[in-house]
Structure 1
Amino acid sequence: MYEIKYYNSDSRKQDNNLLSSTAKTIVNNIESGNSYYQIFKKHEPQDLLKNLIAVASEIRNRFSDLIVISMGGATLNPQMLVSFLGQDQNSPKIHFLNNTDPFFFADLMDIIEIKNTAFIAISNSGETLETNALVGCLLREYQKHNITDIGLRSFFITNLKAGLLKDIAMEIGATLIPHQEGISGRYSGLSSVSLLIGLIAGIDMLSYISGANKVIDAFCSNLAESTPILSASSIYYSNKNTLVNIGYLQRFLPFLEWYSQIIGESLGKDGKGYTPLKGLGPNDQHSMLQLYLEGPQDKFFSFFYLEKINSEVGKYKTINLNKFGYLAHKELSDINKANFTATINALSLKKLPIRSIILKELSSEAFGAMVCHLMLETITIGHLTRVNPFNQPGVEMIKIRSKELISNL
């Protein structure tokens, strides 16, 4: 499904006892029912999807546009799924509303036909300030357009026990979908947050879950020898505190946003952590690579690519004119792959620690496997650095201050 290669970096264990005990601790947390680790509890794909399929079908059949209102990982997980794997022709156009920028909101209102638009609001706590504010603004737009069936086009993934979002849903008669307890936004890649929107987009979510399950099985069986543990150890023992992540396809961008978030929010605590930098190749070869090659050697590099480009995309090539020289009659996919390889080669010659993570094919199964791998990898690094990979106390400080300022307006 995916392959990892290491350059100037020892992916093998440095302290086998530490890695073994870390892996066992994580597996014990999964098996004991610790709520934070339940995202890795293996379920049959059909069981995870059975209560979501009817909702997805209703949205697909009734609406031309769908607005997803959420923040952080609750946006990035489904967004990277849709961006990387695409939507089928019967899917409504999916828009992600994840910013209180009024220009952004106005631009979205200009491009949708609001009478044919549904929305899904997502918040685990039901108290996310920005999400609730954006829901309020969208409900007012429905009201301004004399739309009376607001509840029939409103879907809320949230805590069913308490929270403002649940109360709003009850008042307007919206559909309520449970958000799995203990699972924060950045780790919601295998929860209803991503699964529902993937189904609406027409993505093969059975295969996506299957890919993740294979990684979970291998992790629980192989422990310190598993791919996520070895990958985490390569980062931890590199002694680099800046992680540069570069994708060589445009569709990697939302995925890299999510990967930056899960690194920063999970591991940046108690004076510890890693600074994630994201980039796109070959674009960054004309900007950041100068710094990466000849600047401070304080970085660990991860490169993401796809092994097999399908024939439809692979057919694009340059014209066969002599004036093009070495570029004549070359496939665009081969040119892109050459840039990917050349960049790794150049960094490798500088003796910098690098890994490449290459998906075997553009498939739901491969993408689900990679996402699950990186979640397990991040949690493992949290254990190794002795920080809680699930909380975000710094973010809570901002939330409290924002609410105080808004209340005083």
Structure 2
Amino acid sequence: MNGELSFKYDNVMEETLGNSGLSNGKLESFNTESSKIIENLKEKELNGEFGFLDVLNDNLDKYYELNEYSKNFENILIIGIGGSNLGLRAAETGILGNFTSRYEIPRMYYMDNSDPEKTHDILSNIDLEKTLVFVISKSGNTVETLANFFIVRILMKKKNIDLEKHVVSITSGGELEKITKKENYIHFEVPENVGGRFSVLSSVGIAPLSCTSVDIKKLIDGAKSIEKSCKCEDIFKNPALMNAVIHKLMYNRGKTVSVMMPYIERLRSFGMWYGQLWAESLGKNGFGQTPVIAVGATSQHSQLQLYMDGPNDKIATFLKVNKYRNDLKIEYEYDHHLSGHNLSEVITSELVGTENSMKHNNIPNVKITLSELNEITMGKLFLMYEMQTAISGELYGINAFDQPAVEYGKKIAHECLTGSKVDSEKKYINGKYIITSK
């Protein structure tokens, strides 16, 4: 299995972008600071603050046992939101493909939102008697997750489905832990020092993935294989450090938007995972880049005009693969330049066009190339970005592992659900300035 990852940053350098680019000397000057940053990170790891690295050494036997058990089911239902959903989904679609969850047994279903129509649609198309349900919430009190699980749980009880055999709980507290113990669900802990958005390689991601055809050992091995590079103090040998520094320097120059643009559909969900990781980790104390998720070549026909001719406030990251799992040849009996080419050549040429157009317009961009998309390269990609985010927290002087600003909204939602409906509408919902069409 080929597992090479390369990081190209020519298109942020002054040799390419002139005065809009970075000098080699500027990057070299970071070597002293980067050495201190890596030392700080290693100290935090020793103090048990970097659980996302600790989980790489977990014993996988419990997951192999779960894999055997899951063969009794046709469907896997994932109930979880945010970090309890996005990384898992990125790994599953990245490795297995976008349509595998529909046609390969077990079929994967994701119930992440509290949108009643989505939940109803899933429940209308799934046989719960043939379903293994994963309910995932580190706190055990996530509102959307509990709401959906309570609905699914009652439906299963009404069908006399044995919850002990059909529910896997991944939690470390709250209401979910209480009911897990009371009803004796299959249970996996979420390590205390692993935050949701950093949990893809913990039980949160690995337990459900073990029930699919994903090789979880190779996924972990992929992450381990890049760990040493991502702890290197030399900025020119550490892709996570280099990318973190580049994004920080460009942020200082007004590049407040980070565009993630994979040129392969299987990494669309990885972009969504990155969006949470980058925004929730670094959006603090007035700092932070806004992540924008695009997909090549589709987004060339919707967003590219803005990137090229709108505010010059963006830095783009392209993701590409050298070898697609499947390719198709274009055949056309009339004279046309596309005839005889493969689809992979088309999408690759479109990436080349976008990359060079951005360079021409002095828009900084970097590119990560994977030899192919598999467990090894996905593991590398996940760990590189987790380390890059941790390093960025040090560069900004902030805690990359908390999210204090979202708690106020949760408090109001809780108040609306537990208090008087009239009082809630008066205090939070009704407005003075409203335009209504009837």
Q: Is 1:273 aligned with 2:283?
A: no
Residues 12-46 of structure 1: CA deviation (Å, up to 9, x unaligned): 34432222111111111112322xx12113744xx
Report the residue type matching 2:224 in the other structure: N
**Aligned residue for 1:133?**
147
Shift of 1:102: 0.4
Matched residues in 1 for 2:193 and 2:55: separation?
A: 16
* Counterpart-to-counterpart distance in 2, 1:171 and 1:43: 31
Among 4, 29, 38, the residue aligned to 1:23: 38
Q: Does 1:67 align with 2:77?
A: yes
SS of 1:339 mapped into structure 2: helix
1:84-99 matched pairs, under 5 angstroms? 84-86=94-96, 91-99=105-113
1:304 matched to which residue of 2? 319
Q: CA RMSD in A?
A: 1.7
Corresponding residue SS for 1:389: coil
Q: Which of these residues, 404, 419, 429, is aligned with residue 393 of structure 1?
A: 404
Aligned to 2:376, which of 365, 388, 392? 365
Superposed displacement of residue 53, structure 1: 1.5
Distance 1:148 1:386, change over 3 A: same
Asked whether the 8 Å contact 1:91–1:200 carries over to 2, the reply is no
- Give the corresponding residue for 1:76: 86
1:8 maps to 2:12:
yes
Partner-residue secondary structure (3-state), 2:311: coil
User: In structure 1, the residue corresponding to 2:200 is in which secondary structure?
Assistant: helix
Which deviates further from its counterpart, 219-228 or 174-183?
219-228
1:41 is matched by which residue type in structure 2?
D
Selected match of 1:291 from 291, 295, 306: 306
In structure 2, the gaps of 5 or more residues are 14-21, 422-438
Q: CA deviation at 1:222?
A: 4.1
Equivalent AA in structure 2 for residue 66 of structure 1: I
Q: SS of the counterpart of 1:134?
A: helix
Q: What is the deviation of 1:220?
A: 2.8
SS of the aligned residue for 1:63 comes to: coil
Q: CA deviation at 1:263?
A: 0.6
Q: Residue by residue, what CA displacement relative to the aligned partner does 1:215-236 show, whole Å, maximum 9, x if unpaired?
A: 2122234454422111111111
Distance 1:366 1:76 in 2: 18
Measure, in 1, the Cα distance between the counterparts of 2:374 and 2:233.
25
The answer on 1:39 being equivalent to 2:52 is: yes
2:139 aligned with 1:115: no
Q: Aligned residue for 2:171? A: 158
**By how many angstroms is 1:147 displaced?**
2.1
Secondary structure in 1 matching 2:6:
strand
- Measure, in 1, the Cα distance between the counterparts of 2:232 and 2:267: 30
Letter of the aligned partner of 1:238 in structure 2? M
Q: Structure 2-normalised TM-score? A: 0.87
Match of 1:234 in 2: 246
Q: State the SS of the aligned residue for 1:213.
A: helix
Q: What is the CA distance between 1:94 and its match in structure 2?
A: 1.0
Q: 1:326 to 1:115 in 2, by over 3 A?
A: same
Q: Does 1:319 align with 2:323?
A: no
Instruction: Give the 3 Å change call, closer, same or farther, for CA 390–208 of structure 1 in structure 2.
Output: same
Percent sequence identity is 25
Say if 1:20 and 1:223, in contact at 8 Å, map to a contact too: yes
Where structure 1 has 5 or more consecutive residues not aligned to the other structure, the ranges are none
2:7, 2:368 within 8 Å by CA — same for their partners in 1?
A: yes
Matches within 5 A, 1:114-263: 114-144=128-158, 146-159=159-172, 162-222=173-233, 224=235, 225-239=237-251, 240-263=255-278
- Cα displacement string for residues 55-85 of structure 1 (whole angstroms, at most 9, x for unaligned residues): 23212x1111111111101100111111111
Q: Is the 8 A contact 2:35 2:233 kept in 1?
A: no
Task: From 367, 379, 390, give the equivalent of 1:356.
Answer: 367
Please list the CA deviations of residues 250-296 of structure 1 after superposition, one character each: whole Å capped at 9, or x if unmatched.
11111100001101100001111110001111111112111101111
- TM-superposed CA distance for 1:186, in Å, is 0.4
Provide the secondary structure at the position in 2 that maps to 1:307: strand
